Structure 1
Amino acid sequence: LKGKKVMVVNTASECGLTPQYADLQKLYDQYKDQDFVIVGFPANNFGGQEPGSDEQIASFCKENYGVTFPMMSKISVKGDDKHQVYQFLTEKSKNGLQDSEVAWNFQKYLIDENGELAMVIEPRTLPTDPSIVKWIESN
């Protein structure tokens, strides 16, 4: 992913914010040829809203939202079993920007071309929000 701008987002199939998959895919389609990628990390940390297997999740995303951006295996985004990607994203000592807590499903982390954390976006902010688009389009 080096040299690309990356949005990392924790996802869930049974959440009120699940329709954000459509906007994530729209954003990915629009900018994937401009060194931008979205990486989805399914997580069952909030309300048990991602109960399925990796295969079930992939099928749900493709059938309901036409998702073609990379979806990883299900992980934990908080607590004692927090995945190392999320340790980096949420701990200032590792990312150099800020400490953050994953508040809910569909929290977004923007990582620049150098692998540096650039922004943390709260879950309810749509992926197509002007602040995100501006960041993607900036040099």
Structure 2
Amino acid sequence: MALGDNIRRLREERGMTQQQMADKLYVSRQTVCRWENGSRCPDLITAKKIATEFGVSLDALISDDDMEDLERISGAGKFIKYKRKVKLQEYQRKILEFLQVLGGVYLSISLILRVRFDMRMPVWSVVLGVCLVAGAFALNRRLVRRMEDL
């Protein structure tokens, strides 16, 4: 949709005649007619006044795309971002649950070995536990950054 078509559509949606619009913008009715026909274009200041009068952005006024389509597409984009954020939050919840279970198992095993068998945890198990926890925290940190980017 061209600029002239947008001006005509917005004017008609508000139930204005070309003369009423011309009076508000301090131009002649013929000038409005030329804008709508596409034989002339309003200057930048007048285009801004038209956009303000109709309550739309200047981009929407001069856009060749249908404004409803743009709103629908931008709404779909927001929905996609929201779904992505929910998915990342679900991953984050699973990581934190994993850390809780891992910590609980590690604590239980270390207590059982210490109390029952008077043993300390082997070094390899401590290193493995630290690596798993560090990896989970790193993954969680990465998810938090991705959610901040959304």
* TM-score bucket of the superposed structures, by smaller chain: under 0.3
State TM-score, norm by structure 1: 0.24
Whose strand proportion is higher, 1 or 2?
Answer: 1
Structure with greater contact order relative to length (CA < 8 Å, sep ≥ 6): 1
Whose helix proportion is higher, 1 or 2?
Answer: 2
